Amino acid sequence: MRVSTKAGWLLGAYAATTFAAGLAAHAQEDTIKVGILHSLSGTMAISETTLKDAMLMLIDEQNRQGGLLGKKLEAVVVDPASDWPLFAERARGLIAQDKVAAVFGCWTSVSRKSVLPVFKELNSILFYPVQYEGEESERNVFYTGAAPNQQAIPAVDYLMNEGVERWVLEGTDYVYPRTTNKILEAYLKSKGVAAEDIKVNYTPFGFSDWQTEVSQIKEFGGAGKKTAVVSTVNGDANVPFYKELANQGVSASDIPVVAFSVGEEELAGIDTKPLVGHLAAWNYFQSVDTPENEEFITKWREFTKDDKRVTNDPMEAHYIGFNMWVKAVEAAGTTDTDKVIDAMVGVSVPNLTGGFSSMGANHHITKPVLIGEIQEDGQFEVVNETAGLVLGDEWSDYLPESKPLIADWRAPMSCGNFNTETGKCGGAGAAASN
């Protein structure tokens, strides 16, 4: 049968299109996609952009080593733009459309809370790299940042040992500061601190007019008792906060500030000379002197082509989480979500402080706790460190409703809020967890 020229052209075009689609599908099958969900614009870009870059470096390095399961890793980067509902939308796109094997992302707890239903519904994996308030353990989330017992509680203990008696709990107005401060208030009172010696204050994201707040801190600290500020201020509001402290002459010797969300990256945009002696509590500092850290810093600066680029704690959390994921995928022999989740518990990988971090059955990891003093060059001098590694505690022992709860995602329990008093999954904290 003779085919017309037009029909022949259409058949040829169809065949070419089908062949190209087949090649594209084959190319997709030859890569494992990794989602990166960090704000690259908006108020949180000051903190999150560097985490996107860190993930790109880790993926590039893994590909140089041969990839994973014989395939190359492919980064899929999206920008939720510091817009909390948009985090959920972008997460859904990464999982349902881009078909990523896992997602590394979020910073604020409100962004994490926004995406939790998506990861549960679509059964995917989130690696969350930032300190948070606890009171949560989800099957689809691995928490590589610090829980309160790995940051907030040890920081308060350090300041108490330094003679602090009055406490300003200064935070950004969202779930992480409010829940952390609820825990800290209960902890301080359990240590005999009177209610009148605790001042709590919140300001919005991106807050810039700190004159009144800093004046109130000075006034509160003028009562004849040694006073400290415990800061859960987040994002770019930290820059004017520290500037106003300097403007009003609040030095570390007068009223020390210990921050949980200020690291090397945030200090890179601040004149740090007036801030010398103020503190931060993390599980890693760039100044840590270990061969592992030295190698990491070298690779980071080579990758970014910037010999002044700093590292920080959430970067190390992504380093740990990514390497744990790689090891779990290799052990499972697949990127299948359920099999990888099961393989993650017990995985142990090197951290950058010279030890190994392990994943607990509660989906939190073991970490050292470090207190550092700000130096003139924007780095931190470690002034205190825990004797060993501390496992993140998902449910606080200082909140009555949380004290009896534990999480264990291994079979047969497979529960994030098992109540040890009732013997049932779904305890008093069920609404916060499941």
Whether 328 maps to a domain, the answer reads yes
**143: Cα separation from own chain's centroid:** 7
The pLDDT, as a whole number, for residue 181 is 97
- Provide the token pair at 280: 């931060």
Whether 191 maps to a domain, the answer reads no
**Radius of gyration of the chain from its Cα atoms, rounded to whole angstroms:** 24
Confidence of residue 434 (pLDDT cuts 50, 70, 90): very low
Cα dist from 156 to 54, 110, 117, whole Å: 30, 24, 33
Q: What is the DSSP string of 231-293?
A: EE--GGGHHHHHHHHHHTT--TTTS-EEESS--HHHHTTS--GGGTT-EEEES--TT---HHH
The pLDDT, as a whole number, for residue 268 is 84
pLDDT in tens, 207-217: 999 999 999 99
Are 150 and 143 a contacting pair, CB within 8 Å? no
Confidence of residue 265 (pLDDT cuts 50, 70, 90): confident
Whether 323 maps to a domain, the answer reads yes
CATH of the domain at 104: 3.40.50.2300
For residue 368, say if its preceding peptide bond is cis, omega within 30 degrees of 0: no
Count the domains in the chain: 1
Whether 433 maps to a domain, the answer reads no
The helix or strand, by DSSP H or E, that contains position 227, with its residue range, turns out to be strand 227-232
pLDDT in tens, 385-402: 998 999 999 999 999 999
Confidence of residue 271 (pLDDT cuts 50, 70, 90): confident
Q: Which is more confident, 14 or 419?
A: 419
The pLDDT, as a whole number, for residue 352 is 97
Amino acid sitting at position 55: M
Whether 229 maps to a domain, the answer reads no
Whether 374 maps to a domain, the answer reads no
Residues 6+ apart with CB under 8 A from 334: 69, 340
Backbone angles phi, psi at 427, to 5 degrees: -85, -155
- Residue 84: strand, helix, or coil: helix
pLDDT in tens, 316-347: 999 999 999 999 999 999 999 999 999 999 99
* CA 392 – CA 367 distance, rounded (Å): 8
The pLDDT, as a whole number, for residue 7 is 40
Cα dist from 384 to 65, 187, 274, 373, whole Å: 37, 20, 22, 10
Domain that holds residue 96: 32-146+289-367
- Provide the token pair at 135: 């009171």
Mean pLDDT of the chain: 91
- Provide the token pair at 139: 């099957």
Backbone angles phi, psi at 417, to 5 degrees: -150, 60
Q: Which pTM was predicted?
A: 0.88
Whether 227 maps to a domain, the answer reads no
Q: What is the DSSP string of 286-350?
A: TT---HHHHHHHHHHHHHHT-TT----HHHHHHHHHHHHHHHHHHHHTS--HHHHHHHHTT-EEE
Whether 141 maps to a domain, the answer reads yes
Are 430 and 138 a contacting pair, CB within 8 Å? no
Q: Is the pLDDT of residue 147 over 50?
A: yes
- Tell me whether strands 405-408 and 415-419 are parallel, antiparallel or unpaired: antiparallel
Task: Write down the residue that tokens 């409100």 correspond to.
Answer: 110
Q: Please list the helix, strand and coil fractions of the chain in percent, rounded to the nearest 5, in that order.
A: 40, 20, 40
